[in-house]
Structure 1
Amino acid sequence: MTASTLVDRIRQPEYTGENRCMPCTIVNVVIAAGLSLLLGFVWAPLVVISFAIFVAAIYTRGYLVPGTPTLTKRYFPDRVLRWFDKEPSPTEMGVQSDVGLGTGEKPSFDVEAVLQEAGALEPCEDIDDLCLTADFESEWAREIERTDDAAVRKRLASILGVDEEQVTLKQRDRWFAAAVDGVYVGQWDSHAALTADVATDVALEPRLDGWDGFGNDQRSALARGLRIYLDSCPDCGGNVEFGEETAESCCRSWEVLVIRCDDCGSRLFEIDLSEVEEAPA
Protein backbone atom coordinates (compact mmCIF):
# COMPACT_ATOMS: atom_id res chain seq x y z
CA MET A 1 0.00 0.00 0.00
CA THR A 2 1.45 3.37 -1.03
CA ALA A 3 1.46 6.45 1.19
CA SER A 4 -1.03 8.24 -1.07
CA THR A 5 -3.39 5.24 -0.95
CA LEU A 6 -3.20 5.20 2.85
CA VAL A 7 -3.95 8.93 3.02
CA ASP A 8 -6.93 8.50 0.69
CA ARG A 9 -8.30 5.71 2.91
CA ILE A 10 -8.17 7.74 6.12
CA ARG A 11 -9.12 11.11 4.60
CA GLN A 12 -12.64 12.37 5.37
CA PRO A 13 -13.72 14.62 2.46
CA GLU A 14 -16.80 15.79 4.36
CA TYR A 15 -14.51 17.51 6.90
CA THR A 16 -11.53 18.54 4.74
CA GLY A 17 -10.80 20.75 1.75
CA GLU A 18 -13.64 23.17 1.02
CA ASN A 19 -15.70 21.45 3.73
CA ARG A 20 -13.14 22.02 6.48
CA CYS A 21 -14.59 23.51 9.65
CA MET A 22 -12.10 26.18 10.73
CA PRO A 23 -13.30 26.40 14.36
CA CYS A 24 -12.86 22.60 14.57
CA THR A 25 -9.38 22.86 13.11
CA ILE A 26 -8.32 25.64 15.48
CA VAL A 27 -9.67 23.83 18.54
CA ASN A 28 -7.94 20.60 17.55
CA VAL A 29 -4.61 22.29 16.82
CA VAL A 30 -4.73 23.86 20.29
CA ILE A 31 -5.52 20.46 21.81
CA ALA A 32 -2.71 18.89 19.78
CA ALA A 33 -0.25 21.51 21.00
CA GLY A 34 -1.28 20.92 24.62
CA LEU A 35 -0.98 17.14 24.33
CA SER A 36 2.41 17.47 22.63
CA LEU A 37 3.72 19.67 25.43
CA LEU A 38 2.55 17.13 28.01
CA LEU A 39 4.26 14.32 26.12
CA GLY A 40 7.39 16.46 26.04
CA PHE A 41 7.70 16.07 29.80
CA VAL A 42 8.10 12.33 29.23
CA TRP A 43 10.65 12.67 26.43
CA ALA A 44 11.53 16.03 24.87
CA PRO A 45 11.63 14.86 21.22
CA LEU A 46 8.00 13.72 21.57
CA VAL A 47 6.92 17.37 21.40
CA VAL A 48 7.84 17.63 17.72
CA ILE A 49 7.06 14.02 16.80
CA SER A 50 3.60 13.91 18.39
CA PHE A 51 2.64 17.36 17.15
CA ALA A 52 3.54 16.37 13.57
CA ILE A 53 1.40 13.23 13.88
CA PHE A 54 -1.51 15.16 15.39
CA VAL A 55 -1.38 17.84 12.68
CA ALA A 56 -1.27 15.16 9.98
CA ALA A 57 -4.40 13.59 11.49
CA ILE A 58 -6.16 16.96 11.56
CA TYR A 59 -5.13 17.64 7.96
CA THR A 60 -6.41 14.31 6.63
CA ARG A 61 -9.47 13.82 8.84
CA GLY A 62 -10.47 17.37 9.68
CA TYR A 63 -10.15 16.90 13.43
CA LEU A 64 -8.22 15.04 16.12
CA VAL A 65 -10.93 14.62 18.76
CA PRO A 66 -13.90 12.55 17.51
CA GLY A 67 -17.17 14.46 17.37
CA THR A 68 -15.54 17.90 17.17
CA PRO A 69 -17.84 19.23 14.37
CA THR A 70 -20.91 18.38 16.45
CA LEU A 71 -19.40 19.85 19.61
CA THR A 72 -18.43 23.14 17.96
CA LYS A 73 -21.90 23.58 16.47
CA ARG A 74 -23.47 22.85 19.85
CA TYR A 75 -21.26 24.86 22.19
CA PHE A 76 -19.57 27.64 20.19
CA PRO A 77 -21.47 30.97 20.10
CA ASP A 78 -23.12 31.54 16.72
CA ARG A 79 -21.37 34.90 16.33
CA VAL A 80 -18.01 33.11 16.55
CA LEU A 81 -19.01 30.41 14.06
CA ARG A 82 -20.12 33.11 11.59
CA TRP A 83 -16.55 34.46 11.48
CA PHE A 84 -15.33 31.18 10.02
CA ASP A 85 -18.38 30.11 8.06
CA LYS A 86 -17.70 29.79 4.32
CA GLU A 87 -21.33 29.11 3.52
CA PRO A 88 -23.10 32.00 1.76
CA SER A 89 -25.72 33.39 4.09
CA PRO A 90 -29.33 32.76 3.08
CA THR A 91 -29.96 36.45 2.40
CA GLU A 92 -26.62 37.32 0.82
CA MET A 93 -25.56 34.55 -1.49
CA GLY A 94 -21.95 35.23 -2.32
CA VAL A 95 -20.43 35.96 -5.67
CA GLN A 96 -16.76 36.09 -6.41
CA SER A 97 -17.09 39.31 -8.38
CA ASP A 98 -19.54 42.13 -8.88
CA VAL A 99 -21.35 40.32 -11.65
CA GLY A 100 -24.25 37.98 -12.21
CA LEU A 101 -27.81 37.75 -11.00
CA GLY A 102 -27.19 35.79 -7.82
CA THR A 103 -25.70 38.35 -5.47
CA GLY A 104 -28.74 38.85 -3.28
CA GLU A 105 -27.12 42.01 -1.92
CA LYS A 106 -29.37 44.52 -0.23
CA PRO A 107 -30.15 47.20 -2.80
CA SER A 108 -29.97 50.94 -2.26
CA PHE A 109 -33.40 51.40 -3.83
CA ASP A 110 -36.98 50.36 -3.13
CA VAL A 111 -37.48 46.99 -4.83
CA GLU A 112 -41.26 46.97 -4.44
CA ALA A 113 -41.57 50.51 -5.79
CA VAL A 114 -39.50 49.66 -8.87
CA LEU A 115 -41.51 46.48 -9.49
CA GLN A 116 -44.73 48.48 -9.25
CA GLU A 117 -43.30 51.04 -11.66
CA ALA A 118 -42.55 48.17 -14.05
CA GLY A 119 -46.15 47.00 -13.85
CA ALA A 120 -45.08 43.70 -12.30
CA LEU A 121 -46.72 44.28 -8.91
CA GLU A 122 -49.86 46.07 -7.79
CA PRO A 123 -51.91 46.30 -4.57
CA CYS A 124 -53.95 43.16 -4.00
CA GLU A 125 -57.71 43.49 -4.21
CA ASP A 126 -58.62 41.50 -1.11
CA ILE A 127 -55.62 41.86 1.25
CA ASP A 128 -53.21 44.60 2.28
CA ASP A 129 -50.28 43.35 0.24
CA LEU A 130 -48.81 43.36 -3.24
CA CYS A 131 -49.70 40.85 -5.96
CA LEU A 132 -48.49 40.13 -9.47
CA THR A 133 -50.33 41.98 -12.19
CA ALA A 134 -52.22 39.68 -14.53
CA ASP A 135 -50.31 40.69 -17.65
CA PHE A 136 -46.88 40.37 -16.04
CA GLU A 137 -47.78 37.02 -14.48
CA SER A 138 -48.71 35.65 -17.90
CA GLU A 139 -45.63 37.14 -19.57
CA TRP A 140 -43.34 35.87 -16.81
CA ALA A 141 -44.80 32.35 -17.02
CA ARG A 142 -44.21 32.27 -20.78
CA GLU A 143 -40.65 33.48 -20.33
CA ILE A 144 -39.94 30.86 -17.66
CA GLU A 145 -41.30 28.14 -19.93
CA ARG A 146 -38.89 29.00 -22.73
CA THR A 147 -35.86 29.60 -20.48
CA ASP A 148 -33.69 26.50 -20.82
CA ASP A 149 -30.00 26.18 -19.93
CA ALA A 150 -28.95 27.51 -23.33
CA ALA A 151 -31.04 30.63 -22.76
CA VAL A 152 -29.59 30.99 -19.26
CA ARG A 153 -26.00 30.79 -20.51
CA LYS A 154 -26.75 33.25 -23.30
CA ARG A 155 -28.28 35.79 -20.90
CA LEU A 156 -25.49 35.45 -18.34
CA ALA A 157 -22.87 35.78 -21.07
CA SER A 158 -24.52 38.99 -22.23
CA ILE A 159 -24.57 40.39 -18.69
CA LEU A 160 -20.98 39.39 -17.99
CA GLY A 161 -19.63 40.46 -21.36
CA VAL A 162 -18.16 37.05 -22.22
CA ASP A 163 -18.73 34.39 -24.87
CA GLU A 164 -21.59 32.00 -24.22
CA GLU A 165 -19.20 29.03 -24.45
CA GLN A 166 -17.29 30.33 -21.43
CA VAL A 167 -20.31 30.04 -19.14
CA THR A 168 -20.97 26.76 -17.35
CA LEU A 169 -23.69 25.80 -14.89
CA LYS A 170 -23.37 23.20 -12.15
CA GLN A 171 -24.56 22.15 -8.71
CA ARG A 172 -22.19 23.31 -5.98
CA ASP A 173 -23.02 21.88 -2.56
CA ARG A 174 -26.35 23.45 -1.52
CA TRP A 175 -26.28 25.98 -4.34
CA PHE A 176 -26.58 26.04 -8.11
CA ALA A 177 -23.69 28.01 -9.55
CA ALA A 178 -22.54 29.73 -12.71
CA ALA A 179 -18.88 29.91 -13.66
CA VAL A 180 -16.85 31.62 -16.35
CA ASP A 181 -13.80 29.65 -17.47
CA GLY A 182 -14.03 27.67 -14.24
CA VAL A 183 -14.23 30.72 -11.96
CA TYR A 184 -17.49 30.91 -10.01
CA VAL A 185 -19.29 34.20 -10.57
CA GLY A 186 -22.64 33.61 -8.90
CA GLN A 187 -24.81 31.08 -7.12
CA TRP A 188 -28.52 30.59 -6.61
CA ASP A 189 -30.75 28.59 -4.31
CA SER A 190 -31.33 26.06 -7.10
CA HIS A 191 -31.49 25.54 -10.85
CA ALA A 192 -35.16 26.52 -10.65
CA ALA A 193 -34.28 29.78 -8.90
CA LEU A 194 -31.73 30.63 -11.59
CA THR A 195 -34.28 29.90 -14.32
CA ALA A 196 -36.81 32.18 -12.64
CA ASP A 197 -34.27 34.98 -12.18
CA VAL A 198 -33.13 34.92 -15.80
CA ALA A 199 -36.74 34.90 -17.00
CA THR A 200 -37.43 37.85 -14.69
CA ASP A 201 -34.46 39.76 -16.06
CA VAL A 202 -35.71 39.28 -19.61
CA ALA A 203 -39.31 40.17 -18.76
CA LEU A 204 -38.43 43.34 -16.84
CA GLU A 205 -36.03 44.79 -19.41
CA PRO A 206 -38.64 46.32 -21.76
CA ARG A 207 -40.73 47.53 -18.82
CA LEU A 208 -38.15 49.78 -17.19
CA ASP A 209 -36.48 52.75 -18.85
CA GLY A 210 -32.71 52.79 -18.57
CA TRP A 211 -32.48 49.07 -17.83
CA ASP A 212 -28.81 49.04 -18.80
CA GLY A 213 -28.19 51.56 -16.03
CA PHE A 214 -29.37 49.15 -13.33
CA GLY A 215 -26.47 47.57 -11.49
CA ASN A 216 -26.16 43.81 -11.29
CA ASP A 217 -26.94 43.89 -7.57
CA GLN A 218 -30.13 45.84 -8.30
CA ARG A 219 -31.21 43.44 -11.04
CA SER A 220 -30.50 40.56 -8.65
CA ALA A 221 -32.65 42.17 -5.97
CA LEU A 222 -35.54 42.67 -8.38
CA ALA A 223 -35.38 39.07 -9.56
CA ARG A 224 -35.11 37.75 -6.01
CA GLY A 225 -37.98 39.98 -4.94
CA LEU A 226 -40.27 38.44 -7.54
CA ARG A 227 -39.23 34.87 -6.79
CA ILE A 228 -41.46 34.77 -3.70
CA TYR A 229 -44.49 35.24 -5.97
CA LEU A 230 -43.93 31.99 -7.85
CA ASP A 231 -46.89 29.64 -7.51
CA SER A 232 -45.50 26.86 -9.70
CA CYS A 233 -42.01 25.41 -9.99
CA PRO A 234 -39.88 26.55 -12.96
CA ASP A 235 -38.27 23.09 -13.06
CA CYS A 236 -40.97 20.52 -12.39
CA GLY A 237 -44.15 22.57 -12.74
CA GLY A 238 -45.53 21.47 -9.37
CA ASN A 239 -46.94 23.59 -6.58
CA VAL A 240 -44.79 25.81 -4.37
CA GLU A 241 -44.90 25.65 -0.58
CA PHE A 242 -43.56 27.73 2.32
CA GLY A 243 -41.93 26.13 5.34
CA GLU A 244 -39.32 26.36 8.08
CA GLU A 245 -36.15 24.27 7.95
CA THR A 246 -32.74 23.94 9.55
CA ALA A 247 -29.91 24.91 7.20
CA GLU A 248 -26.40 23.62 7.86
CA SER A 249 -22.91 24.57 6.76
CA CYS A 250 -19.54 23.19 7.77
CA CYS A 251 -19.56 25.16 11.00
CA ARG A 252 -23.08 25.87 12.15
CA SER A 253 -26.80 25.44 11.70
CA TRP A 254 -29.60 28.01 11.64
CA GLU A 255 -33.35 28.18 11.13
CA VAL A 256 -34.57 29.46 7.77
CA LEU A 257 -37.82 30.27 6.04
CA VAL A 258 -37.82 28.36 2.76
CA ILE A 259 -39.93 28.30 -0.39
CA ARG A 260 -39.67 24.94 -2.17
CA CYS A 261 -41.15 23.12 -5.12
CA ASP A 262 -43.52 20.55 -3.67
CA ASP A 263 -42.85 17.84 -6.27
CA CYS A 264 -39.08 18.01 -6.85
CA GLY A 265 -37.92 19.78 -3.68
CA SER A 266 -36.02 22.55 -5.48
CA ARG A 267 -35.32 25.48 -3.15
CA LEU A 268 -36.60 28.74 -4.64
CA PHE A 269 -35.98 31.15 -1.79
CA GLU A 270 -34.34 31.05 1.62
CA ILE A 271 -33.97 33.65 4.34
CA ASP A 272 -32.67 33.50 7.89
CA LEU A 273 -35.72 33.18 10.12
CA SER A 274 -34.18 35.48 12.72
CA GLU A 275 -34.10 38.29 10.16
CA VAL A 276 -37.79 37.80 9.43
CA GLU A 277 -38.63 37.85 13.14
CA GLU A 278 -36.48 40.94 13.77
CA ALA A 279 -37.80 42.90 10.78
CA PRO A 280 -39.85 45.96 11.74
CA ALA A 281 -43.58 45.64 11.30
Structure 2
Amino acid sequence: MGPIAALRRPEHTGANRCLPCTVANGAILIGCCLVLALVRIPIAVVALLAGSGTIWLRGYLVPYTPQLLSRVRELTGRSREPDPTPAASLAAADAAVGERAVESLLGAGVLVPEGDRLHLDEGFRADWRDGIERLRTRSDGGLVEAVSAATDPGTDAELIAADRPMIALVGPDGGESWVSRPVAIAEVAAVRALDSHVADGASRERLAAARALRGFLDRCPVCDSWTEEASLRRCCGNRPRRGTVLRCPDCDEALYRFPDE
Protein backbone atom coordinates (compact mmCIF):
# COMPACT_ATOMS: atom_id res chain seq x y z
CA MET A 1 0.00 0.00 0.00
CA GLY A 2 1.43 3.37 -1.01
CA PRO A 3 2.24 6.48 1.03
CA ILE A 4 -1.06 8.16 0.11
CA ALA A 5 -3.06 5.29 1.58
CA ALA A 6 -0.98 5.51 4.75
CA LEU A 7 -1.99 9.17 5.16
CA ARG A 8 -5.72 8.49 4.87
CA ARG A 9 -7.90 8.66 7.97
CA PRO A 10 -11.32 7.15 7.12
CA GLU A 11 -12.53 7.82 10.65
CA HIS A 12 -12.32 11.58 9.90
CA THR A 13 -13.15 11.71 6.18
CA GLY A 14 -16.02 10.81 3.88
CA ALA A 15 -19.28 10.45 5.79
CA ASN A 16 -17.34 10.99 9.04
CA ARG A 17 -15.83 14.32 7.98
CA CYS A 18 -16.46 17.14 10.44
CA LEU A 19 -17.17 20.44 8.67
CA PRO A 20 -16.03 22.68 11.58
CA CYS A 21 -12.71 20.79 11.77
CA THR A 22 -12.23 21.12 8.02
CA VAL A 23 -13.06 24.83 7.98
CA ALA A 24 -10.81 25.59 10.96
CA ASN A 25 -7.86 23.75 9.45
CA GLY A 26 -8.50 25.37 6.06
CA ALA A 27 -8.41 28.82 7.64
CA ILE A 28 -5.11 27.99 9.39
CA LEU A 29 -3.66 26.75 6.11
CA ILE A 30 -4.68 29.88 4.20
CA GLY A 31 -3.24 32.12 6.92
CA CYS A 32 0.10 30.29 6.81
CA CYS A 33 0.19 30.44 3.02
CA LEU A 34 -0.44 34.20 3.03
CA VAL A 35 2.58 34.63 5.31
CA LEU A 36 4.69 32.41 3.04
CA ALA A 37 3.57 34.42 0.01
CA LEU A 38 5.34 37.43 1.49
CA VAL A 39 8.56 35.44 1.26
CA ARG A 40 8.12 33.51 -2.00
CA ILE A 41 4.91 32.91 -3.88
CA PRO A 42 5.95 29.48 -5.32
CA ILE A 43 6.57 28.18 -1.80
CA ALA A 44 3.14 29.40 -0.75
CA VAL A 45 1.51 27.64 -3.72
CA VAL A 46 3.27 24.35 -2.92
CA ALA A 47 2.26 24.65 0.75
CA LEU A 48 -1.36 25.34 -0.24
CA LEU A 49 -1.52 22.27 -2.49
CA ALA A 50 0.17 20.00 0.03
CA GLY A 51 -1.96 21.27 2.91
CA SER A 52 -5.20 20.94 0.95
CA GLY A 53 -4.31 17.38 0.02
CA THR A 54 -3.60 16.55 3.65
CA ILE A 55 -6.94 17.95 4.80
CA TRP A 56 -8.72 16.01 2.06
CA LEU A 57 -6.99 12.74 2.98
CA ARG A 58 -6.94 13.08 6.78
CA GLY A 59 -9.79 15.44 7.60
CA TYR A 60 -7.44 17.86 9.32
CA LEU A 61 -3.99 19.46 8.97
CA VAL A 62 -3.07 20.39 12.56
CA PRO A 63 -2.07 17.19 14.40
CA TYR A 64 -4.53 15.89 17.02
CA THR A 65 -7.29 18.30 15.96
CA PRO A 66 -10.12 15.91 17.03
CA GLN A 67 -8.47 15.28 20.41
CA LEU A 68 -7.87 19.00 20.97
CA LEU A 69 -11.48 19.86 20.18
CA SER A 70 -12.70 17.06 22.44
CA ARG A 71 -10.53 18.53 25.20
CA VAL A 72 -12.06 21.97 24.59
CA ARG A 73 -15.50 20.42 24.95
CA GLU A 74 -14.51 18.90 28.29
CA LEU A 75 -13.12 22.21 29.58
CA THR A 76 -16.28 24.03 28.56
CA GLY A 77 -18.45 21.53 30.40
CA ARG A 78 -19.69 19.55 27.39
CA SER A 79 -19.44 15.79 27.95
CA ARG A 80 -17.17 13.71 25.78
CA GLU A 81 -18.85 11.29 23.39
CA PRO A 82 -17.58 8.51 21.10
CA ASP A 83 -16.41 8.81 17.52
CA PRO A 84 -19.31 8.79 15.04
CA THR A 85 -18.95 5.26 13.71
CA PRO A 86 -16.98 2.18 14.64
CA ALA A 87 -14.27 1.01 12.33
CA ALA A 88 -15.29 -1.38 9.57
CA SER A 89 -15.62 -5.12 10.03
CA LEU A 90 -13.52 -7.98 8.70
CA ALA A 91 -16.76 -9.12 7.05
CA ALA A 92 -18.01 -7.61 3.82
CA ALA A 93 -21.38 -5.88 4.07
CA ASP A 94 -24.00 -8.36 2.86
CA ALA A 95 -27.48 -8.33 4.40
CA ALA A 96 -28.38 -11.83 3.18
CA VAL A 97 -25.21 -13.37 4.58
CA GLY A 98 -25.74 -11.48 7.82
CA GLU A 99 -29.26 -12.86 8.21
CA ARG A 100 -28.07 -16.43 7.63
CA ALA A 101 -25.27 -15.91 10.15
CA VAL A 102 -27.67 -14.77 12.87
CA GLU A 103 -29.97 -17.72 12.12
CA SER A 104 -27.03 -20.11 12.51
CA LEU A 105 -26.10 -18.52 15.85
CA LEU A 106 -29.66 -19.00 17.09
CA GLY A 107 -29.76 -22.58 15.83
CA ALA A 108 -26.45 -23.43 17.51
CA GLY A 109 -27.51 -21.86 20.80
CA VAL A 110 -24.78 -19.20 20.69
CA LEU A 111 -27.51 -16.56 20.85
CA VAL A 112 -30.31 -17.31 23.31
CA PRO A 113 -33.73 -15.57 23.03
CA GLU A 114 -35.13 -14.23 26.28
CA GLY A 115 -38.35 -12.28 25.88
CA ASP A 116 -37.80 -9.69 23.16
CA ARG A 117 -34.01 -9.66 23.62
CA LEU A 118 -31.11 -11.92 22.68
CA HIS A 119 -28.39 -12.98 25.09
CA LEU A 120 -25.02 -14.61 24.55
CA ASP A 121 -24.56 -18.19 25.74
CA GLU A 122 -22.17 -18.07 28.70
CA GLY A 123 -20.16 -21.05 27.47
CA PHE A 124 -19.51 -19.31 24.15
CA ARG A 125 -18.76 -16.02 25.94
CA ALA A 126 -16.08 -17.78 28.03
CA ASP A 127 -14.44 -19.31 24.94
CA TRP A 128 -14.63 -15.97 23.11
CA ARG A 129 -13.06 -14.14 26.04
CA ASP A 130 -10.21 -16.68 26.24
CA GLY A 131 -9.49 -16.08 22.56
CA ILE A 132 -9.57 -12.32 23.04
CA GLU A 133 -7.09 -12.54 25.91
CA ARG A 134 -4.66 -14.57 23.78
CA LEU A 135 -4.89 -12.18 20.83
CA ARG A 136 -4.57 -9.12 23.06
CA THR A 137 -0.94 -9.97 23.82
CA ARG A 138 0.03 -10.32 20.17
CA SER A 139 2.14 -7.73 18.42
CA ASP A 140 0.60 -5.69 15.61
CA GLY A 141 2.35 -7.95 13.11
CA GLY A 142 1.03 -11.06 14.83
CA LEU A 143 -2.49 -9.67 14.80
CA VAL A 144 -2.25 -8.92 11.07
CA GLU A 145 -1.28 -12.57 10.51
CA ALA A 146 -4.29 -13.71 12.54
CA VAL A 147 -6.56 -11.42 10.52
CA SER A 148 -5.19 -12.82 7.25
CA ALA A 149 -5.90 -16.36 8.43
CA ALA A 150 -9.48 -15.49 9.45
CA THR A 151 -10.53 -13.57 6.34
CA ASP A 152 -11.46 -14.81 2.87
CA PRO A 153 -8.63 -16.14 0.66
CA GLY A 154 -7.25 -13.41 -1.56
CA THR A 155 -7.73 -10.68 1.04
CA ASP A 156 -4.60 -8.65 1.75
CA ALA A 157 -4.13 -7.28 5.28
CA GLU A 158 -1.60 -4.60 6.15
CA LEU A 159 -0.93 -2.53 9.26
CA ILE A 160 -1.29 1.22 8.83
CA ALA A 161 0.68 3.12 11.48
CA ALA A 162 -1.28 6.11 12.76
CA ASP A 163 -2.39 7.86 15.96
CA ARG A 164 -4.56 4.78 16.36
CA PRO A 165 -3.12 1.94 14.26
CA MET A 166 -5.54 0.39 11.77
CA ILE A 167 -5.47 -2.78 9.71
CA ALA A 168 -6.20 -2.09 6.04
CA LEU A 169 -7.99 -4.88 4.18
CA VAL A 170 -8.15 -5.13 0.40
CA GLY A 171 -10.45 -7.88 -0.88
CA PRO A 172 -10.14 -9.92 -4.07
CA ASP A 173 -12.59 -7.54 -5.76
CA GLY A 174 -10.52 -4.50 -4.79
CA GLY A 175 -12.86 -3.37 -2.00
CA GLU A 176 -11.07 -1.71 0.88
CA SER A 177 -11.88 -1.36 4.58
CA TRP A 178 -10.01 -0.19 7.66
CA VAL A 179 -10.33 -2.14 10.89
CA SER A 180 -9.27 -0.98 14.34
CA ARG A 181 -7.24 -3.20 16.67
CA PRO A 182 -10.16 -3.77 19.12
CA VAL A 183 -12.51 -4.79 16.29
CA ALA A 184 -9.89 -7.09 14.74
CA ILE A 185 -9.21 -8.83 18.07
CA ALA A 186 -12.92 -9.26 18.82
CA GLU A 187 -13.83 -10.65 15.39
CA VAL A 188 -10.85 -13.00 14.96
CA ALA A 189 -11.46 -14.43 18.45
CA ALA A 190 -15.17 -14.82 17.65
CA VAL A 191 -14.43 -16.70 14.41
CA ARG A 192 -12.15 -19.08 16.31
CA ALA A 193 -14.68 -19.63 19.10
CA LEU A 194 -17.40 -20.35 16.56
CA ASP A 195 -15.38 -23.31 15.25
CA SER A 196 -16.29 -25.31 18.37
CA HIS A 197 -19.88 -24.07 18.69
CA VAL A 198 -21.26 -23.97 15.13
CA ALA A 199 -21.05 -27.21 13.19
CA ASP A 200 -20.99 -25.79 9.69
CA GLY A 201 -21.13 -22.54 7.76
CA ALA A 202 -19.04 -20.82 5.13
CA SER A 203 -16.19 -18.53 6.13
CA ARG A 204 -18.19 -15.49 5.00
CA GLU A 205 -21.00 -16.47 7.36
CA ARG A 206 -18.54 -16.94 10.23
CA LEU A 207 -17.15 -13.46 9.60
CA ALA A 208 -20.66 -12.00 9.38
CA ALA A 209 -21.54 -13.76 12.65
CA ALA A 210 -18.42 -12.32 14.28
CA ARG A 211 -19.49 -8.86 13.18
CA ALA A 212 -22.93 -9.29 14.78
CA LEU A 213 -21.42 -10.71 17.98
CA ARG A 214 -19.50 -7.48 18.60
CA GLY A 215 -22.79 -6.02 19.83
CA PHE A 216 -22.56 -8.42 22.80
CA LEU A 217 -19.10 -7.36 23.99
CA ASP A 218 -19.29 -6.61 27.71
CA ARG A 219 -15.58 -5.78 27.99
CA CYS A 220 -13.14 -3.95 25.74
CA PRO A 221 -10.98 -6.37 23.70
CA VAL A 222 -7.90 -4.20 24.35
CA CYS A 223 -8.03 -2.86 27.92
CA ASP A 224 -10.74 -5.14 29.41
CA SER A 225 -12.77 -2.18 30.72
CA TRP A 226 -16.55 -2.53 30.90
CA THR A 227 -18.25 -1.30 27.74
CA GLU A 228 -21.15 1.15 27.60
CA GLU A 229 -23.78 2.34 25.12
CA ALA A 230 -23.58 5.96 23.95
CA SER A 231 -25.01 8.26 21.29
CA LEU A 232 -23.15 9.07 18.11
CA ARG A 233 -21.40 12.34 17.37
CA ARG A 234 -19.04 13.83 14.84
CA CYS A 235 -15.38 14.14 15.76
CA CYS A 236 -15.65 17.60 17.37
CA GLY A 237 -19.03 17.01 18.90
CA ASN A 238 -21.06 19.18 16.54
CA ARG A 239 -24.13 18.15 14.55
CA PRO A 240 -25.24 15.06 16.55
CA ARG A 241 -26.22 12.03 14.49
CA ARG A 242 -28.98 9.58 15.24
CA GLY A 243 -27.84 6.19 16.50
CA THR A 244 -26.14 4.33 19.32
CA VAL A 245 -22.78 2.64 19.61
CA LEU A 246 -21.17 0.24 22.04
CA ARG A 247 -17.93 1.83 23.18
CA CYS A 248 -15.01 1.54 25.58
CA PRO A 249 -14.97 4.70 27.75
CA ASP A 250 -11.28 4.28 28.61
CA CYS A 251 -9.94 3.66 25.09
CA ASP A 252 -12.57 6.01 23.59
CA GLU A 253 -13.15 3.38 20.89
CA ALA A 254 -16.48 2.61 19.24
CA LEU A 255 -16.78 -1.17 19.10
CA TYR A 256 -20.16 -1.66 17.43
CA ARG A 257 -22.95 0.43 15.94
CA PHE A 258 -26.43 -0.76 16.75
CA PRO A 259 -28.90 -0.72 13.84
CA ASP A 260 -31.13 2.34 13.76
CA GLU A 261 -34.65 1.60 14.95
State the TM-score, normalizing by the size of structure 2: 0.58
Cα-to-partner distance string for 1:247-277 (whole Å, 9 max, x where unaligned)? 369xx97333111102111110125xxx623
Q: Is the 8 A contact 2:232 2:240 kept in 1?
A: no
Q: Is the 8 A contact 1:13 1:19 kept in 2?
A: no
- Within the alignment, does 1:134 sit opposite 2:118 as a pair? no
Mapping 1:29-68, distance limit 5 Å = none
Equivalent residue of 1:235, what SS?
coil
- Within the alignment, does 1:117 sit opposite 2:112 as a pair? no
Aligned residue pair count: 189
5+ unaligned residues in a row in structure 2: which ranges? 1-38, 60-83
* 2:177 maps to which of 175, 181, 186: 186
Give 1:232 shift.
Answer: 0.6
The letter for the 1-side match of 2:130 is R
- Give the distance between the partners of 2:142 and 2:165, measured in 1 at CA: 20
- Give the distance between the partners of 1:173 and 1:220, measured in 2 at CA: 27
- Within the alignment, does 1:152 sit opposite 2:143 as a pair? yes
Task: Select between 151-160 and 225-234 the one with higher mean Cα deviation.
Answer: 151-160
5+ unaligned residues in a row in structure 1: which ranges? 21-88, 94-99
- Within the alignment, does 1:106 sit opposite 2:95 as a pair? yes
Give 1:204 shift.
Answer: 0.9
- Give the distance between the partners of 1:221 and 1:161, measured in 2 at CA: 15
- Give the distance between the partners of 1:194 and 1:264, measured in 2 at CA: 15
- Within the alignment, does 1:227 sit opposite 2:211 as a pair? no
Give 1:243 shift.
Answer: 0.8
* Percent identity of equivalent pairs: 25
The letter for the 2-side match of 1:232 is R
The letter for the 1-side match of 2:225 is G
Equivalent residue of 2:195, what SS?
helix
Bigger relative contact order (CA 8 A; separation at least 6): 2
Q: Is the 8 A contact 2:85 2:232 kept in 1?
A: no
Question: Residues 169 and 15 from structure 1, CA distance in 2 versus in 1: closer, same or farther, beyond 3 angstroms?
Answer: closer
Q: Is the 8 A contact 2:147 2:184 kept in 1?
A: no
Q: Is the 8 A contact 1:200 1:223 kept in 2?
A: yes
- Within the alignment, does 1:5 sit opposite 2:43 as a pair? yes
Give 1:161 shift.
Answer: 3.6
Paired residue for 1:276?
260
Question: Residues 177 and 7 from structure 1, CA distance in 2 versus in 1: closer, same or farther, beyond 3 angstroms?
Answer: farther
Question: Residues 16 and 232 from structure 1, CA distance in 2 versus in 1: closer, same or farther, beyond 3 angstroms?
Answer: closer
The letter for the 1-side match of 2:187 is D
Give 1:133 shift.
Answer: 1.0
Q: Is the 8 A contact 2:127 2:193 kept in 1?
A: yes
For the pair shown, the structure with the greater C-alpha radius of gyration is 1
Mapping 1:60-99, distance limit 5 Å = 93=88
Q: Is the 8 A contact 2:231 2:243 kept in 1?
A: yes
The letter for the 2-side match of 1:137 is R
The letter for the 1-side match of 2:191 is D
